[in-house]
Amino acid sequence: MSNKILEVEGNAKKDVREMGGGSFYSAHKQEDIEKWLEHMDVEEYVHMFDQVFNCEDEWEEYVEDEEIVSNSFELEFRESEDADESECLHDEEIQEFLDEEPKRERDAGVQRITYQLKDLIGNIDGIKDTTIQLLDDFMKVVKTDDVENLSEEEKKLYQTLNDMTQLTLKYPKPEVEKETYEPF
């Protein structure tokens, strides 16, 4: 937290072009408040703007659809001389958000890596399937199961293909739904 108390004032426009605005006080740093406001989706959703800036009664018309998207959003930060910490209504929530940020970042990183790993596993499965087909084609071309009678180059090719068909993964493979197409 900073040792200054900031008044954070916000203004937004609804799709119906009504104007609304409000403010709150915070002892947090401006960049921390901005991160929290982004997390709260105040720029995106009018009902979140209303909740944070306490301006539900400031709009000229009542709008039932809470998913109305804000068309514009502006923030202004000013140091307040006459506010004290008792007026910092959102500071506990902002602090909780900041405290949980490392966990959110870790969870997002793990989720990203898991997605990439599942994609890689799919690619490896595709390579393995192709290799099995290539090995089958190779055996049809050489017309023998007796590997010892193959030339050195053929033995290397056979061994490489055979080794590649043995690829195994310890991570659980993703479940893939088979796509079905209806005929025209």
Residue 92 Rama label (left phi>0; alpha psi -120 to 50; beta): alpha
**Same domain, residue pair 79 and 47:** yes
Count how many domains the chain has: 2
* This prediction's pTM: 0.54
**Same domain, residue pair 81 and 10:** yes
Q: Judge whether 50 lies within some domain.
A: yes
Q: Judge whether 180 lies within some domain.
A: no
Report d(CA 133, CA 38) in Å as an integer.
51
**Same domain, residue pair 120 and 76:** no
Domain that holds residue 148: 105-165
pLDDT tens for each residue of the chain, 184 residues long: 777 888 888 887 765 556 777 888 899 999 999 999 999 988 888 888 888 888 766 665 545 555 555 567 788 888 888 888 888 888 999 999 999 999 999 999 999 998 998 888 888 888 989 999 999 999 999 988 888 889 999 999 999 999 988 877 766 655 655 566 666 5
**Same domain, residue pair 74 and 21:** yes
